[in-house]
């Protein structure tokens, strides 16, 4: 073993700094974040919730093909971005659109994939945000590769590799952890455990004490955190990023949260879970938890709440306008970005499509 086994074990209970009623919870290892950091997080949570609701509405209007909502998981979305430096990378999943926007990507560009126009609507190199990954866990290997390259170049880059509980059942997850541990890459694996991989509950995915325990076999230290407590997330993820940046290798963080809405608009969660199961999680809403705490300490008032809501509404309006514009598709784009220099086979395929379209126009 290259690590002390005792240092790999996650805590027996998820770290919580603010309870669901908005009361501070003393913790030996972590203090509460700076008050202004919590205020910034609150403003971002409001924007993320409005973004989620607007995206759902755009699906119903036919402006988006599909939308996997992170409603109720916004604390994870915001915290995993706010702990990063400008030069760090975010590797998101299909459910992390709110995190992508919080990272600074234009909402319309962030939703281009889910509109069905392109595989990605933003420049990954300019934004330091990888394209959203629809296949489970495949992007984790890419994240480790970026982190490894940064380490070889002597750069202070840390990579935040986000995944869900379902991804931990994939081989790519384990391969990524093993490579990252052996080569001590500066990557933070952030599992948003929302209890379901579409319709498969967590109990049917693993028999481990927690998903954070999965790092032990690879020599990766793990930690558990309340995924609806943005204060705890900021501290736990922030500490993990700091350790990774300091050369201590990969970190594994499991956030305990819940997917309160359907997997996507194409899903019917009533077929595999009851409303009674969802109800208790509504009382653990990350926004109300933080708002109660901030109001109780004079850090937030009605005017502030209205101001943040207005800002979020303005962003939603720009989002509606941008996604309401019609786009024109050019079939040649299907072939332009496959290879730097098109192969003979690709040219032949393009000619076939051009011929077929010309025949359609003649009819």
Report the length, in residues, of the chain: 363
Handedness of CA 113, 78, 15, 263 (dihedral sign): negative
Q: Alpha-carbon distance 180 to 218, whole Å?
A: 9
Q: Which residue do the tokens 């990605």 mark?
A: 120
Q: Alpha-carbon distance 286 to 72, whole Å?
A: 7
φ, ψ of residue 339 to 5 degrees: the values are -130, 155
Q: Alpha-carbon distance 30 to 44, whole Å?
A: 22
Q: Which residue numbers are catalytic?
A: 259, 263, 272
**Of the candidates 179, 248, 213, the residue with the CA atom closest to the CA atom of residue 5:** 213
Q: Alpha-carbon distance 349 to 83, whole Å?
A: 46
Please report, to the nearest 10 degrees, the dihedral formed by the alpha carbons of residues 137, 139, 141, 146 taken in order. Answer: -150
Write out the H or E segment, with its range, that includes residue 278: helix 275-282
Handedness of CA 333, 337, 343, 346 (dihedral sign): negative
**Of the candidates 317, 323, 264, the residue with the CA atom closest to the CA atom of residue 115:** 323
């Amino acid at each position: 073993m290259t690590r002390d086994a005792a240092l790999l074990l996650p805590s027996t209970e998820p770290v919580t700094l603010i309870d669901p009623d908005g009361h501070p919870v003393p913790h030996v290892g972590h203090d509460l974040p700076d008050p202004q950091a919590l205020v910034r997080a609150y403003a971002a949570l409001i924007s993320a919730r409005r973004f989620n609701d607007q995206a759902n509405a755009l699906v119903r209007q036919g402006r988006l093909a599909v939308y996997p909502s992170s409603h109720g998981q916004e604390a994870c979305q915001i915290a995993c971005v706010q702990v990063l430096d400008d030069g760090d990378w975010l590797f998101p999943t299909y459910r992390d659109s709110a995190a992508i926007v919080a990272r600074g990507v234009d909402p319309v560009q962030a939703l281009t994939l889910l509109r069905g126009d392109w595989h990605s609507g933003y420049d990954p190199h300019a934004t330091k945000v990888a394209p959203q990954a629809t296949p489970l866990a495949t992007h984790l290997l890419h994240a480790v590769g970026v982190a490894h390259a940064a380490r070889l170049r002597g750069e202070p880059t840390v990579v935040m590799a986000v995944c869900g509980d379902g991804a931990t059942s994939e081989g790519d997850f384990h391969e990524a952890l093993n490579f990252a541990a052996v080569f001590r890459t500066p990557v933070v694996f952030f599992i948003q455990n929302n209890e379901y991989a579409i319709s498969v509950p967590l109990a049917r995915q693993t028999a481990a004490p927690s998903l954070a325990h999965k790092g032990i076999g690879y020599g990766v230290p793990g930690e558990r955190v309340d995924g609806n407590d943005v204060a705890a997330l900021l501290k736990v993820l922030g500490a993990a990023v700091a350790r990774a940046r300091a050369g201590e290798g990969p970190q594994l963080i499991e956030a305990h949260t819940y997917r309160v809405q359907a997997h996507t608009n194409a899903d019917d969660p009533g077929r595999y879970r009851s409303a009674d199961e969802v109800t208790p999680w509504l009382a653990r809403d990350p926004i109300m938890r933080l708002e109660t705490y901030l109001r109780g300490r004079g850090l937030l008032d009605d005017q502030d709440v209205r101001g943040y809501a207005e800002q979020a509404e303005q962003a939603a309006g720009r989002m509606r306008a941008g996604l309401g514009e019609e786009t024109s598709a050019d079939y040649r784009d299907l072939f332009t970005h496959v290879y730097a220099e098109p192969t003979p086979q690709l040219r032949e395929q393009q000619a076939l499509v051009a011929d077929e379209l010309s025949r359609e126009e003649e009819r």
